[in-house]
Amino acid sequence: MNLAGKIIAILGVGRSGRAAAMLALREGARVSAWDLAGVAAFADMPAGVEIHPEATAEQGRTVVSDVVVVSPGIDTYGPFVAAFAQNTGEVIGEIELAARFYQGKIIGITGTNGKTTTTELVARILAHAGFGGTPCGNYGIPFAEVVLQSHPPATVALELSSFQLETIHSLRPNVAVWLNFAPDHMDRYPSVHAYRTAKLRIFENQSADDTAVIRHGEEIPPLAARIVTFSTTDPAADWFSNGQTICHGGDTWFDMDHESHLRGLHNAENLMAALATCRTLGISALSMRDALHGYTSPPHRCELIRTLDGVEYVNDSKATNLHALASALRSQTRPVVLIAGGKDKGLDYASLIPLLREKALATVTFGQIARPLAAVFAEAVASEAVVTLADAVSAARSLAPAGSTILLSPGTSSFDQFSGYEQRGNAFRDIVHQLS
């Protein structure tokens, strides 16, 4: 792709947009940046970029460009992007732009849940084996920042959200990982089918020379790539785990209890996906075990905060959808008092009722959907609705006997009361550490 002299319009001036602008400038393009935010948001935009704060769709319809680069936080199908798309040659995302200037191998990782943990695992193995493996994309640093490095790594672990996959055209992962699929982001997509279609784009440019690592049982259309499967339910899959050991080809490749701090079937799936991926690159079992020895998953993912009066307090704030909440519940071995709630994303929580009956002693709901969510959960167990997370912890503590677990696994996003799941998880951690 030759950008010399081309006119590039960047929509969104977060870190991804800034990286795209820097890359376009390096390649000789004339770059403008547009955002709904005020001028302060443009403070870190590189010199040479024409800035347009408080941009409008009306302005967008007057812009003539060769390429529009959309940041993942902006609705691809909304009126703002549609306006800029009227007089451009192509609409792409920062991921697609970076891929056109990257010469190494791409490990693309998607799924409704588990993407970040799997990306970290892959990156750790690749780095240990001397393959580079920089984590980037939806996790880590923007892909364009990797491409801008003086010596880009030979391989990247590229986490891909549905928002980022909406705007690819030629991106071709050497290995594409599909962890799982469940309804999510119904506040952005018109249907579950539209969300799934966006995720499936990870496979569309692969050929027979590439590999697709897929959770056994997922409904995937016919693929050109070679398929490798993993499962915690079917020993016939290429990789299988009972939640403790991971087996492949009749041999044990990893022991979760003794070689890492990961636990639960959902983390067994993440591990298998990572091991299967790195095996396709020829990395040995010994090298992978050495790389992952003692590994602890990122914060806010079934993170044990403390045990107080015989009760475990577990932070799973990263659970921003039903599938993640269900996975967290299934992974618990003690009776659970569940804390859930947050922003209304239009999800149907009734599907959790059988699992709540099996795993939960009670639920405490908070935030925007506290009352309707408590009404749904009350069909399974005693449920109480409160306003804040601090109120929820207090209520849960009164309901949790010794030997149980208080699990923060919200099942939805945090944007009613927090800036993101990290702030929500940190708040939970602070509240729990203040208990006496």
277 in helix, strand or coil? Answer: helix
How is residue 163 annotated by DSSP?
H
Q: Tell me which of 186 and 225 has the higher pLDDT.
A: 225
Domain 303-433 indexed as CATH 3.90.190.20: yes
Instruction: Name which of 46-60, 61-75, 182-196 the model is least confident about.
Output: 182-196
With H, G, I as helix, E, B as strand and everything else as coil, classify residue 156: strand
Residue 363 in tokens: 């639920």
Check residue 295 and give its pLDDT: 84
Out of 81-95, 165-179, 186-200, 279-293, which region has the weakest mean confidence (pLDDT)? 186-200
Domain boundaries, the chain: 7-93, 102-292, 303-433
Quickly state the pLDDT bin for 179 (edges 50, 70, 90). Answer: very high
pLDDT at 93 over 90: yes
What is the Cα–Cα distance from 429 to 8, expressed in whole angstroms?
43
In angstroms and rounded to an integer, the radius of gyration of the C-alpha atoms of the chain is 22
Q: Nearest Cα to 114, choosing from 289, 277, 328, 258? A: 328
Beta strand spans in 87-215 (E): 91-93, 105-110, 132-137, 155-159, 175-178, 211-215
Q: Cβ contacts of residue 152 below 8 Å, gap of 6+?
A: 102, 103, 104, 132, 146
Is the CATH number of domain 102-292 3.10.129.10? no
Q: What is the pLDDT of residue 274?
A: 98
pLDDT at 175 over 80: yes
Give the pair of three-digit tokens for residue 380. Answer: 């399974």
- Helical packing angle, 285-292 and 115-128, nearest 10°: 120
Say if residue 187's pLDDT is above 70.
no
Report pLDDT for 399.
98
- pLDDT score for 388: 97
Token match 């800034």: residue? 18
Spatial separation of the C-alpha atoms in residues 41 and 281, rounded to whole Å = 41
Average pLDDT of span 401-406: 97
- Could you tell me what percent of the chain has a pLDDT over 90? 83
Q: Do domains 7-93 and 102-292 have the same CATH topology?
A: no
What confidence tens digit (pLDDT) does each residue in 425-435 have?
999 999 999 99
pLDDT for 346 equals 82
Per-position DSSP letters for 63-112, written without gaps between them: --BSEEEE-TTS-TTSHHHHHHHTTBS-EEEHHHHHHTT--SEEEEEE-S
DSSP state of 128: H
Q: Which pLDDT score is estimated for 112?
A: 84
Tell how many helices (H) and how many strands (E) occur in the chain: 16, 20
Closest CA to 267 of 40, 115, 42, 136: 115
pLDDT given for residue 327 in this prediction: 84
* Amino acid in position 254: F
Strand partners, 225: none
Identify residue 155 by its one-letter amino acid code: T
Q: What is the mean pLDDT of the chain?
A: 94
Bigger pLDDT: 263 vs 27 = 27
Average pLDDT of the residues in 175-204? 85
Beta bridge partners of 408: 315, 339
Q: Mean pLDDT across the stretch 351-355?
A: 95
Q: Output the pLDDT for position 48.
A: 95
The pLDDT tens digits for 260-313 are 878 778 889 999 999 999 999 999 999 999 999 878 777 888 888 999 999 999
Is residue 32 predicted with pLDDT exceeding 60?
yes
The arithmetic mean of pLDDT across residues 58-86, rounded, is: 95
Which of 295, 349, 296, 294 minimizes the C-alpha distance to 319? 349
Out of 3.30.420.40, 3.40.50.720, 3.20.20.80, 3.40.50.1370, which CATH number does the structure's domain 7-93 have? Answer: 3.40.50.720
pLDDT at 184 over 80: no
CA 172/CA 205 separation, integer angstroms? 5
With H, G, I as helix, E, B as strand and everything else as coil, classify residue 435: coil
Letter for the amino acid at 46?
P
- Are 322 and 155 within 8 A, CB to CB? no
